[in-house]
C-alpha cells in the first residue's frame, strides 16, 4: 500500500496560514498598522476602498527597509522582532511571528514601496498570490507604503463569507481605533472612499479619546490612576449616568496592546455595582503596564487574549482603583471623616466660661391688641364687651372669663343639629333618579346598574406581568405581551416606511444628540428611512444630530435610547444583511419600543394589544420568528382533571 502522508505545497500551506491570520479586511489593517508602529513611525495614514475589499493601503514615515529586507519580509516566519525563543517572554513589539505579510500576499495583490532613512532610492515589490511578480528600484519617500488590493481574489469562497460593506467598515474602524488609542503620540489619519473619517494629531491619552469619540466625551470621563509593584494603572471610566444598554466604548490595553479580558471586565462592572442599572454597561479606557515576563500573549491567533501570572491581584487592584476614583471625584457616595474647620472653637473663646442660653418671652405680646373687636358666632357683642374680656391688653384665662370664652366658641355649633331648618338647607336637595327609559324592545333599567350576568366583567387577564390570557370559543389563548407588541410595532413601522407617511409629533424644543464619526456615518445612511417613520431631522453634520419631531408612538425620553440601540444593531448586523434596510430598521425599533416583561398593563391596554395583534397579517410569530401565543382548548383542560 502506498504512503498517504505527504507535504503540502507551499502555496497551499500559505493559504492555510492566511486563514489563521487574515479573517477579514480588518485583519489586514491590524497587521499593517502594527508593523508601522513597530517601525517607529510618527505619522500613519490608512486608505481604504469598499471597506477594504478593493484596497487597503497603509503609509508610514518609519525606518523603512532595504531591498533585501523588503524581499525577506514576504517569507514565512521572517521577522526582525525576535532572535531566540526567550524573546517571546519579553515582547515589547506588536508583531513577532513573521507571518503577516506572507499570509496577506498569498491571498491578495500586494505592492510595497519602501526606502530607508538616509538612502536616496528605495524598492518597489509587487506580489500576486504569494509569488513575486516584480521587484525594482524606485523613487519613494522615506518609510513604507503597502497597498493590498483585491483581497481573497484567489479564494472566492472566503470572499463570499464577508459581511456587508457597513459591517466590514465597522471592523476596520475598530482596529484603527484600538491602535490609535494605544499610541496617542503618533499622528493617525484614515480615509474611506475618498472621505476623511479620522484625523488624529499627536496628543495625550485624554485628547486622543475625545478626538475619536467626539468633544462631548470629555465631560463623561473620570480619570483612574494607581501605581503598584504589580501594575501601573491609568486611564478613564465613564460616569455612571453615561452607562449604555449596549456595549459601547470598552478598551483594555496591556503594554500598549489591545486585549479582551472577561475577567478584568467583571472587575470594572463590580466597581460600578449600585451605581448603574443591572442591564447597563459602563464605558472605560484602561491602560495597564506590567512586566512582560508576567504575561503570555501568544495564546490566541489574533493576540487579543493573554494570560496573567496573578489575575486575582489585578482584579482587586483594578476594582479598588475605579471605586476610589468614583468616590474621589464625588461620583459615588463615600464616608468622609475629615474634620470641618468651621466647627472648631475659635481661640478667643478658649478660656471663656460657658453661659447657659436663656429664652426670653414677651409676656405683653398680643396679636389682637390693635383689633377693634372680636366677632363670635354666638349672640352679637359690641367692641366694648369684647374688649372687656381682656385686662390691660392681656387675656384673662382665670375664673369666669375662661368659661365665657368657652361658651362663645361652643355657640358656633348652635342650630346645626336643628332639623327644622329653612328649606334652603341641604335637606331640600333632590337626587336625580338613575332610572332610564327603555329603548325599543328593552325594559327600563338603571343607568349605572350592574353588568349583565351573561359573561365575565372583563375579557383579558395579565399573568405574572408577562402573559395576557384571553378567552376564545374553543378555550383560551396565552399571549407573550413583549413578542405580541413587537409584531404590532413591526408591521406598523413597515407600513409607514412603505407608504412614506409616518405620523410625526413636533417638539417644542429640539433634541440635540452627539455621536462619534462612525456612528454619524451610519445615521446618515438611515436618515431617509428614519424620516419615513416620523423622525424629523433638521441637522445631521459633524458630531451633532438635531431632531425636531419624533413618531407618535415614541416618547421624548426614549429617543436617545432608540438611536443607540439602532446603531448597535446595525453595527452588529442584527438582523442579517440579507434583509432590506427598511426591514432591519423596523425590527430594531420594534425590539426597542415593545413593552417589556414585568410591565403592568391595565385592561384597556391588554384588550387593545390583543385586538391589534390579531389584526396583523402574521400574528403567530414575532418579527424574529418566535411564537407569540399558544392555545389551550377546553378538551386540554378536561384531560388535566382525569
Tens digits of residue pLDDT in 155-176: 888 888 888 787 888 889 989 9
Q: What is the mean pLDDT of residues 176-195?
A: 92
Distance CA 36, CA 109 (A): 19
Q: Radius of gyration of the chain from Cα atoms?
A: 39
pLDDT tens for each residue of 49-80 = 998 999 999 999 988 898 888 888 888 766 66
Please report the pLDDT score of residue 438 as a whole number.
47
Which range among 9-23, 355-369, 590-604 shows the weakest confidence by mean pLDDT?
A: 9-23
Q: Which of 349-363, 430-444, 447-461, 612-626 has the highest mean pLDDT?
A: 612-626
**Average predicted confidence (pLDDT) for the chain:** 78
Residues contacting residue 634 through CB under 8 Å, at least 6 positions apart: 474, 475
CB neighbours of 101 closer than 8 A, spacing ≥ 6? 31, 35, 73, 74, 110, 146
Which of the four pLDDT bands, split at 50, 70 and 90, describes residue 384? Answer: very low
Q: Is pLDDT at 234 greater than 90 in this prediction?
A: yes
What's the rounded Cα separation, in Å, for the pair 5 and 402? 122
pLDDT score at 80: 64
How confident is the model at residue 417, as a pLDDT?
A: 55
Other CB atoms within a 10 A radius of the CB of residue 276 amount to 18
Domains of the chain listed by start with CATH number: 10-200 (3.30.565.10), 205-328 (3.30.230.10), 462-631 (3.30.1370.100)
What pLDDT is attached to residue 574?
Answer: 62
Least confident of 292-296, 394-398, 472-476: 394-398
Judged against a pLDDT cut of 90, whether residue 42 lies above it is answered with yes
501 or 66, higher pLDDT: 66
Query: Is the pLDDT assigned to residue 416 strictly greater than 50?
Result: yes
Over residues 376-388, the mean pLDDT reads: 45
Q: What is the mean pLDDT of residues 270-277?
A: 86
Indicate the pTM of the whole model.
0.67
Q: 298-322: per-residue pLDDT in tens?
A: 655 566 777 787 888 999 999 999 9
Joined together, the cell numbers standing for residue 98 give: 513573521
Is the distance from CB of 52 to CB of 170 less than 8 angstroms? no
Cis ω before 242 (30° cut-off from 0): no
Beta strands 284-289 and 250-254, pairing class: parallel
Backbone angles phi, psi at 554, to 5 degrees: -115, 135
Q: How far apart are the first and last CA of the chain?
A: 69
**The pLDDT value given to residue 123:** 93
* Contact of 113 with 123, CB cutoff 8 Å: yes
Say whether pLDDT at 411 is over 70. Answer: no
Q: Is residue 586 predicted with pLDDT exceeding 50?
A: yes
Provide the pLDDT confidence category of residue 206 given band limits of 50, 70 and 90.
very high
Q: Of the candidates 308, 309, 295, 321, which has an alpha carbon nearest to the alpha carbon of residue 233?
A: 321
Amino acid at each position: 500500500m502506498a504512503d498517504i502522508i505527504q507535504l503540502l505545497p507551499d502555496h497551499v500551506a500559505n493559504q492555510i496560514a492566511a486563514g489563521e491570520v487574515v479573517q477579514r479586511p480588518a485583519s489586514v489593517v491590524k497587521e499593517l498598522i502594527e508593523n508601522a508602529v513597530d517601525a517607529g513611525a510618527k505619522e500613519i495614514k490608512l486608505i481604504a476602498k469598499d471597506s477594504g475589499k478593493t484596497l487597503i493601503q497603509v503609509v508610514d514615515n518609519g525606518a523603512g527597509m532595504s531591498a533585501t529586507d523588503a524581499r525577506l519580509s514576504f517569507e514565512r516566519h521572517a521577522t526582525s522582532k525576535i532572535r531566540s525563543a526567550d524573546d517571546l517572554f519579553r515582547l515589547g513589539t506588536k508583531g513577532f511571528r513573521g507571518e503577516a505579510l506572507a499570509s496577506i500576499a498569498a491571498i491578495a495583490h500586494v505592492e510595497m514601496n519602501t526606502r530607508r532613512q538616509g538612502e536616496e532610492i528605495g524598492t518597489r515589490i509587487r506580489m500576486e498570490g504569494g509569488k513575486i511578480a516584480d521587484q525594482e528600484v524606485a523613487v519613494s519617500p522615506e518609510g513604507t507604503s503597502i497597498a493590498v488590493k483585491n483581497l481573497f481574489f484567489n479564494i472566492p469562497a472566503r470572499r463570499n463569507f464577508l459581511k456587508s460593506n457597513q459591517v466590514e467598515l465597522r471592523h476596520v474602524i475598530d482596529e484603527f481605533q484600538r491602535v490609535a488609542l494605544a499610541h496617542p503620540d503618533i499622528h493617525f489619519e484614515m480615509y474611506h472612499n475618498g472621505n476623511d473619517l479620522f484625523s488624529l494629531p499627536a496628543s495625550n491619552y485624554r485628547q486622543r479619546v475625545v478626538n475619536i469619540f467626539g468633544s462631548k466625551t470629555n465631560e463623561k470621563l473620570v480619570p483612574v490612576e494607581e501605581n503598584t509593584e504589580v501594575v501601573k494603572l491609568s486611564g478613564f471610566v465613564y460616569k455612571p449616568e453615561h452607562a449604555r444598554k449596549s456595549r459601547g466604548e470598552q478598551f483594555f490595553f496591556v503594554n500598549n496592546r489591545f486585549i479582551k479580558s472577561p475577567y478584568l471586565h467583571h472587575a470594572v462592572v463590580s466597581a460600578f455595582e449600585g451605581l448603574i442599572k443591572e442591564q447597563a454597561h459602563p464605558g472605560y479606557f484602561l491602560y495597564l503596564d506590567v512586566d512582560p515576563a508576567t504575561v503570555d500573549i501568544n495564546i490566541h491567533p489574533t493576540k487579543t487574549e493573554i494570560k496573567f501570572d496573578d489575575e486575582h491581584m489585578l482584579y482587586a487592584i483594578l476594582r479598588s482603583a475605579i471605586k476610589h476614583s468614583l468616590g474621589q471625584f464625588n461620583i459615588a457616595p463615600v464616608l468622609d471623616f475629615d474634620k470641618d474647620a468651621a466647627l472648631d472653637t475659635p481661640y478667643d473663646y478658649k478660656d471663656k466660661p460657658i453661659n447657659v442660653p436663656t429664652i426670653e418671652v414677651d409676656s405683653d405680646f398680643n396679636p389682637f391688641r390693635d383689633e377693634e373687636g372680636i366677632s363670635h358666632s354666638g349672640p352679637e357683642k359690641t367692641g366694648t364687651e369684647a374688649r372687656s374680656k381682656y385686662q390691660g391688653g392681656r387675656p384673662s384665662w382665670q375664673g369666669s372669663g375662661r368659661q365665657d370664652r368657652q361658651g362663645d366658641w361652643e355657640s358656633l355649633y348652635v342650630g346645626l343639629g336643628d332639623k327644622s331648618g329653612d328649606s334652603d338647607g341641604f335637606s331640600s336637595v333632590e337626587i336625580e333618579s338613575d332610572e332610564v327609559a327603555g329603548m325599543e324592545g328593552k325594559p327600563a333599567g338603571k343607568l349605572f346598574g350592574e353588568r349583565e350576568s351573561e359573561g365575565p366583567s372583563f375579557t383579558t387577564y395579565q399573568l405574572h406581568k408577562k402573559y395576557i390570557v384571553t378567552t376564545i370559543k374553543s378555550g383560551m389563548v396565552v399571549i407573550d405581551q413583549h413578542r405580541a407588541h413587537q409584531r404590532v410595532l413591526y408591521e406598523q413601522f413597515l407600513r409607514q416606511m412603505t407608504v412614506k407617511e409616518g405620523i410625526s409629533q413636533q417638539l417644542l424644543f429640539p433634541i440635540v444628540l452627539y455621536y462619534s464619526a462612525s456612528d454619524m456615518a451610519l445615521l446618515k445612511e438611515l436618515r431617509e428611512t428614519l424620516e419615513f417613520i416620523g423622525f424629523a431631522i433638521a441637522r445631521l453634520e459633524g458630531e451633532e444630530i438635531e431632531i425636531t419631531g419624533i413618531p407618535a408612538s415614541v416618547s421624548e425620553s426614549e429617543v436617545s435610547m432608540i438611536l443607540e440601540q439602532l446603531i448597535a444593531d446595525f453595527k452588529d448586523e442584527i438582523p442579517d444583511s440579507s434583509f432590506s434596510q427598511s426591514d432591519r430598521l423596523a425590527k430594531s425599533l420594534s425590539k426597542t419600543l415593545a413593552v417589556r416583561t414585568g410591565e403592568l398593563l391595565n385592561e384597556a391596554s391588554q384588550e387593545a394589544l390583543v385586538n391589534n395583534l390579531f389584526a396583523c397579517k402574521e400574528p403567530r410569530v414575532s418579527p424574529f420568528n418566535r411564537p407569540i401565543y399558544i392555545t389551550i382548548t377546553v378538551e386540554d383542560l378536561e384531560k388535566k382533571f382525569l
